[in-house]
Structure 1
Amino acid sequence: MQKNQIMISYGDQSKKMVKELLKEIKVETGLRQNDLIALKPNLINPTKSSQGATTDPEIVAGCIEYFRERGFNNLMIIEGSWVGADTERAFEVCGYKELSQKYDIPLYNLKKDNFIKKSYQQLEIEIAEKALEADYLINFPVLKGHCQTRITCALKNLKGCISDSEKRKFHRHGLHRPIAYLNKLLKQDLIIVDGIYGDLDFEEGGNPVKMNRIIAAQDPVLVDAYAANLMGYSIRDIEYIEIADQIGVGSKDLSSSEIIELNQDRETDITYSSGKIKKLTAKVKAKKACSACYGNLIHALKRIEETGQLDKIAGFIKIGQGYQGEKLFGIGIGSCCSGADGFVKGCPPSARDTLDFLAENYNIRV
């Protein structure tokens, strides 16, 4: 896998999808059999992954099986939940205690670890010793919103590798600069993004959007830039992406990236119980829509709602394979709805694509 590549598998069969991605990447190339491989999920709190806050254990299970099948047995799972949350409880509720027992892999609660002070540009950060010991660090963030930084993905997920006192200090410093600096001090070798479910706008979950994808990359700055685009943000909206690019953690340049899609998502019947999401999608008419496409649309509508411009959308927004070949009035989302008066190109179009289309055609500015 090249540093400028982003690889995507669509669907909801997590274990199968991640194995296919790892096989395509040939992740074992260059690794030694006895290398210590650390698996770092996002277990911010003790909630199931379907709530949109935590990493699906099946994704990590697929990674474990892939390595085990190739003779790599020196693996560990590491995490430290956010301040106020019990990591041991998160391990149990999120399915990682069971995972550890099934595959005989140690779980390390980084809140109980020793911490080593590292510094970059006069900012000192306490980093868990176990994270620093790893020969190869695989980061498993969740693609989701965040109440302060707008999105959280690869760069921010390394916060689980610092002490609770350090997490509090990060907030005092405004999060963005310390997040970028942490990634200068602690290198992640591979990112496997859980984009099956991710919360609309809050890191603790509760309003999950079904995005139906797993994303793989080596550059955390590039994958976060891609994640921002998927969720309807410009890169300049996420300050820590800009800083991480400036200090050489990676590249934010999506125009030079290679996006490799291994497949396409399947049509599905999508229902949301969240009142917040139901309100956003009140003007959406879906017919055999794919979760990946619908999920991107929801993030676009959220961005429009934040600016108070949802009422500018007249009529209904059409989405889904059931509209293929039909003449449609109003706005269509994706290639399936090319018969609409105006449609957003792509399969699936990102939230940013949708916002740019609406800005150009319907005077909606975000």
Structure 2
Amino acid sequence: MGDVVGLVRTHSSGEDIKEAVGKVLDLIDFKPKEPIRSVDIKVNLCYYWHASTGYTTDPRIVGGIIDCLRERYGKDIRFRIVEADGTAMRTKYAFLMLGYEELAKRKNVELFNLSQDEIREEKVCVNGREIAFQIPQSLLKSDLFINVPKLKIMRETKITCALKNIYGCIAYPRKIIYHSILNEAIVGINKILRPNLTIVDGIVALGRCPIKLCLIMASKDAFSIDWIASQIMGFNPSKVKFLKIAIKEKLGNLSGIEIRGEEDIDFFRRLFPKENFFSSKTWWTLQFRALTLYKKISGDILPPFLERN
């Protein structure tokens, strides 16, 4: 069954962000079932781009979450900010370059690379296909697992938000091996790793360009977040492939999805810089084909990041 999705507007100051986090948690009636001793916060550090670009989770929202939870549930909670290495990103450098080492010192929390965790292979079936994942085992032991994705578009999947950020938990760095079955892989990893809470960093969102949206979203259900986030970003969620697969695989359910707080999502939809032809997958596919043709004709070489894998 779907769940409540809270939407709150915020400003950029740390105290205001903390208050907005508290407000959005109240909107979704978030109350932990058990005492909280340990919290894992999965951020989105897909590359070394600053949060102002809209690509990566803003350390200020993570700081606001830490402060809010300590105030509500106790100062002795052990926090970890977690991320896994990617095909072209190493977590230790991202933590350093994007302000997380400074945040960790200031808040007295741990930074943890999921690719260096105890790993176990687990397999799930999605759309009749068996998919194997390298799963960091410590995520399964946390009292509270919080997913803190960005609100942004992605050519391959239309959107990337709650469910896609959990894909980033896969311990194996070369996640490019899943790109031919990316939509199925997103659903598959979310069958294994189920965050207790998702808080979306929409302070700066990313459409065809970054936009200061000043939005924080939250829900206890990642699918419900993505269903609403798709609409804010200008997409029909029923046409987002991994959301359709999630419904088919019983990972998502439209029944019970309810918006609280800033209920006029059209306000945010009008602000969001939607995808156009020149930022679409079709346009970039044509560009890659033109570059490949140029390479064959001229004998020139392309930078590695422009090579199709």
Shorter-chain TM range is 0.7 to 0.9
Q: What are structure 1's unaligned runs of at least 5 residues?
A: 202-206, 266-289, 309-366
Judged with a 3 Å threshold, the aligned counterparts in structure 2 of structure 1 residues 305 and 40 are, in CA distance, closer, same or farther, namely closer
Q: TM-score, normalised by structure 1?
A: 0.68
Judged with a 3 Å threshold, the aligned counterparts in structure 2 of structure 1 residues 305 and 82 are, in CA distance, closer, same or farther, namely closer
Letter in 2 for 1:248: K
Letter in 2 for 1:7: G
Judged with a 3 Å threshold, the aligned counterparts in structure 2 of structure 1 residues 294 and 11 are, in CA distance, closer, same or farther, namely farther
Alignment of 1:88 with 2:92, yes or no, is yes
Aligned residue for 2:134? 126
User: Once the two structures are superposed, what CA deviation does each residue of 1:201-259 show, in whole Å capped at 9, x if it has no partner?
Assistant: 4xxxxx31222211001111111111111111112331111111221222245xx4211
Alignment of 1:18 with 2:21, yes or no, is yes
User: Once the two structures are superposed, what CA deviation does each residue of 1:107-133 show, in whole Å capped at 9, x if it has no partner?
Assistant: 101222232111112322111123222
Aligned residue for 1:151? 159
Letter in 1 for 2:33: G
Distance of 2:161 and 2:259 partners within structure 1: 18
Match of 2:150, SS state, is: coil
Aligned residue for 2:182? 175
Q: CA deviation at 1:264?
A: 8.4
Alignment of 1:8 with 2:7, yes or no, is yes
User: Once the two structures are superposed, what CA deviation does each residue of 1:116-168 show, in whole Å capped at 9, x if it has no partner?
Assistant: 11111232211112322223211000000112111100001012211235612
Letter in 2 for 1:78: V
Q: CA deviation at 1:302?
A: 3.0
Aligned identity (percent) is: 29
Structure 1 counterpart of 2:238, from 236, 239, 251 = 236
Distance of 2:121 and 2:169 partners within structure 1: 12
Letter in 1 for 2:63: A
Match of 1:148, SS state, is: coil
Match of 2:238, SS state, is: helix
Letter in 2 for 1:170: Y
What RMSD in Å do the two structures reach over aligned CA positions? Answer: 2.7
Structure 2 counterpart of 1:210, from 197, 209, 212 = 212
The answer (yes or no) to whether the contact 1:127–1:162 under 8 Å persists in 2 is yes
Letter in 1 for 2:276: K
Judged with a 3 Å threshold, the aligned counterparts in structure 2 of structure 1 residues 295 and 304 are, in CA distance, closer, same or farther, namely farther
Q: What are structure 2's unaligned runs of at least 5 residues?
A: 283-309
User: Once the two structures are superposed, what CA deviation does each residue of 1:247-302 show, in whole Å capped at 9, x if it has no partner?
Assistant: 1222245xx4211015989xxxxxxxxxxxxxxxxxxxxxxxx9836523x32x73
Distance of 1:28 and 1:185 partners within structure 2: 23
Aligned residue for 1:60? 62
Aligned residue for 2:32? 29
Aligned residue for 1:184? 191
Letter in 2 for 1:117: E
The answer (yes or no) to whether the contact 1:199–1:209 under 8 Å persists in 2 is yes
Distance of 1:306 and 1:168 partners within structure 2: 20
Q: TM-score, normalised by structure 2?
A: 0.79
Letter in 1 for 2:141: E
Letter in 1 for 2:94: A
The answer (yes or no) to whether the contact 1:143–1:194 under 8 Å persists in 2 is yes
Judged with a 3 Å threshold, the aligned counterparts in structure 2 of structure 1 residues 210 and 55 are, in CA distance, closer, same or farther, namely same
Q: CA deviation at 1:175?
A: 0.2
Letter in 1 for 2:69: F
The answer (yes or no) to whether the contact 1:180–1:240 under 8 Å persists in 2 is yes
**Structure-to-structure mapping, 1:1-366, within 5 angstroms:** 3-13=2-12, 14-25=17-28, 27-34=30-37, 36-69=38-71, 70-71=73-74, 73-121=77-125, 122-165=130-173, 167-172=175-180, 174-201=181-208, 207-253=209-255, 256-261=256-261, 292=268, 294-296=270-272, 298-299=273-274, 302=276
Distance of 2:27 and 2:67 partners within structure 1: 15
The answer (yes or no) to whether the contact 1:6–1:259 under 8 Å persists in 2 is yes
Q: Which has the larger radius of gyration?
A: 1
Match of 1:137, SS state, is: strand
Aligned residue for 1:281? none
User: Which of 1 and 2 has higher RCO (CA within 8 Å, sep 6+)?
Assistant: 2
Match of 2:276, SS state, is: helix
Match of 1:53, SS state, is: coil
